[in-house]
Every structure is written in structure tokens, then in C-alpha cells.
Amino acid sequence: MFWLSFKRILKTGFIDFWRNGVVSLSAIFVMVITLLILTGAIFSSVLLEHTLTSLEQKVDININLLPDAAEATIEKMREDLSTLPQIESVQLLSRDEVLQEFITDNSDEQITLDALELLQDNPFGASLKIKAVDLSQYEAINKFLEDNYEVGTVNSVIDSVNSTKKHEVIEKLSNIIDAGEKFGAIITIIFIILSILITLNTIRLAMYISRDEIRVMNLVGADHSYITGPFIVAGAIYGLVSSILVMILLYPITLYVGKDTAELFFGLDLFEYYLQNFGQILLVIVAAGIFIGSVSSFVAIKRYLKDR
């Protein structure tokens, strides 16, 4: 008996969906807009998080050593720094590697490169690149270097310490991203609520069209689940169709903006991200669409039957 009623509810829901064509299109249009906004919030969050991670990887402390620094002294310094819990890694660059890095960074400065050739010798010493476990640890590492290593003195092998201030900028950027994600979440929730309200009223119109059928079912003693079921099924179909349309629209949209996002957001091509995470995105969008459609239908039919 249960399966028979369930099949009838599904069949009636599909029939209502097709029969109320204009109403269905209106509900689907509203839900497509909402789901696109939800997807935009997801993509924005991914792009900003990728940007933050990329910037964090560029933050480091460079210890520039004197050209005549002994290899044993350099190696001991590297080992001592590696034992600090605040430090994730210490990379040693040889004199030749430092020279090559300088040439690469100044490839557009021909005068500088010509002056370097006149020296006929490598003027750079080795270098230690320090990466912290966390952005908040850079201040502690700087303090440790100041307290334990002399810089520029007669007995020191350290020529200079270049501590980038990027971590301060990134911390501010991280706070901005957190605030932006909260704002985006609020906007998305607002649009979901608006979508539910608009879809609710749209579905109430469908119920008004079917008012005679609902009245007959009430008169013959049909329970509320049999009456509400088809409308909830129709709402779920609205969400499913809207989700499919959104996934189709996302293909040309991400294809169009993909190269631009790769240039602006440290190589993250939004089109490639869309293809690589298609299943996850589809699952989120379909779940959100069916949820909005079903909830809207459930609330609408409950209010309609209550008013009767």
C-alpha cells in the first residue's frame, strides 16, 4: 500500500510540474538565480583562499651570508635554526644559486647585469631561506635572530637579514577574506530565503490552480501526506531542473573567465577547477536546489491547507 501511494504521489507530482508550465518556469528562473549566487560565493571563497595560500608561501626570512663564510659554519647555523619549533624549513642556497636568482630577478635591468659582469667574480654569499610554521611566528623568529646572531660585525658571517613584511599584509588580507566570506554567506542566506519566499508564493499559485482537486481530496478523506506529497515532489523537480541548468551555465561562464582568474589569482583557472571538482559542485548545487524547492512547497501547502 505504501509503495502504491508513493508511486501515485510521484506520478501526480510530475504531472503537476508539466501541467503548470508557466508557474514551473517562474519558480525555476528564481531558483537558477539563487543557485548561481550560491555558486559565485563558493568560487569566490576558493579564489580568495588560493590567493592567501599562494601569498603565504612567498613569505620568508632571508639570511644573506658573507662570501667567505665557511661551509661548516653555514651548515651548523642551518641545523640550529631547523631545530626551532617555529620554523617549518630552512633552505640553503649556494653562492651560485643566489647569483642565478639575482640574474633572473633583474633580467630587465641590463645596466645592473653589465655592472655585475665587470666584477668578474661572484659578489654574493650563500643564503638561508626560512619559512615559518605559521604567519604569527615570523615576529618570534626575527626576535630570535636579533638575540642570537650578530649582523655586520667583524666576527659575524651574516651580511644582512631581509625579513619581509609581507606577513603583516597577509594577516590583514586574511582578516579581509574572513570578513568577505561572512558577508558572502549572509548575502547567500538572504537570497536563499528570498528564493524560498518567492518560490513559496509561486507554488501557492499552482495550488490555487489545483484548488478543486485539493477540495475533492479533502472531501473524500485523503490524508495530508497524500495531498502535500505531489507538491513537494514538484518542488524537488524545480530544484533538480534548476541545478542542471546552473551546471550547464557554469561551463561557458567558467570557460570565459578561466584565463583571467589564472592571471589574477596565482594560476587558479576557474574552468579547470570547475571540471576537476564537477562532482562535488554538482552535489552541492543539486542538494541546495532540491532543499529550496521541497521546503518552499512544504511550507506553501501547509499554509494553504491551514487557511482552508
pLDDT single digits (tens) 155-164 = 677 888 876 6
144: CATH? 3.30.70.3040
What is the residue type of 66?
L
Q: For residues 38 and 178, state if they share a domain.
A: yes
Q: For residues 267 and 193, state if they share a domain.
A: yes
The region that residue 266 occupies, defined by phi over 0 for left and psi between -120 and 50 for alpha, beta otherwise, is left
The region that residue 120 occupies, defined by phi over 0 for left and psi between -120 and 50 for alpha, beta otherwise, is left
Q: For residues 122 and 39, state if they share a domain.
A: no
Handedness of CA 85, 88, 94, 99 (dihedral sign): negative
Given 131, 163, 195, which residue is the final one in a domain? 163
Q: Which helix (H) or strand (E) holds 4?
A: helix 2-19
Burial class of residue 153 (count of CB atoms within 10 Å of its CB; 0-12, 13-18, 19+): exposed
pLDDT digits (tens, 9 = 90+) for 234-282: 788 888 889 999 999 999 999 999 999 888 888 889 999 999 999 999 9
| 291 vs 287: CA distance, rounded Å | 6
Q: For residues 220 and 265, state if they share a domain.
A: yes
Measure Cα distances from 39 to 73, 188, 243, 288 in Å.
Answer: 54, 9, 11, 10
Percent of the chain with pLDDT over 90: 11
Q: Say if CB 261 and CB 43 are below 8 A apart.
A: no
C-alpha cell at 101: 636568482
Q: For residues 230 and 133, state if they share a domain.
A: no
3-state secondary structure of 158: strand
C-alpha cell at 166: 609581507
Order the strands of the 61-65 sheet from edge to edge: 87-93, 127-132, 61-65, 158-163
Max CA-CA distance within the chain? 102
Angle, CA 57 vertex, CA 63 and CA 61 arms, to 5°: 15
Q: For residues 106 and 41, state if they share a domain.
A: no
Give the per-residue pLDDT at 304.
65
Q: For residues 234 and 107, state if they share a domain.
A: no
Percent of the chain with pLDDT over 70: 78
Of the candidates 35, 15, 2, which has an alpha carbon nearest to the alpha carbon of residue 249?
35
Q: For residues 87 and 124, state if they share a domain.
A: yes
Q: Which domain holds residue 132?
A: 60-163
Report the interhelical angle of 95-105 vs 110-119 (nearest 10°): 150
What is the residue type of 134?
D
Given 140, 163, 186, which residue is the final one in a domain? 163
Q: For residues 259 and 302, state if they share a domain.
A: yes
C-alpha cell at 53: 595560500
Classify residue 156 by its DSSP letter: -
Q: For residues 159 and 223, state if they share a domain.
A: no
Given 163, 191, 221, which residue is the final one in a domain? 163
Average the pLDDT over each of 83-87, 277-281, 297-301 and give the range with the smallest value: 297-301
Q: For residues 138 and 260, state if they share a domain.
A: no
Q: For residues 109 and 217, state if they share a domain.
A: no
pLDDT digits (tens, 9 = 90+) for 194-237: 777 777 777 777 666 666 666 666 655 556 666 677 777 878 88
pLDDT digits (tens, 9 = 90+) for 102-124: 888 888 888 877 777 877 788 88
Q: Say if CB 55 and CB 165 are below 8 A apart.
A: no
The total number of structural domains in the chain stands at 2
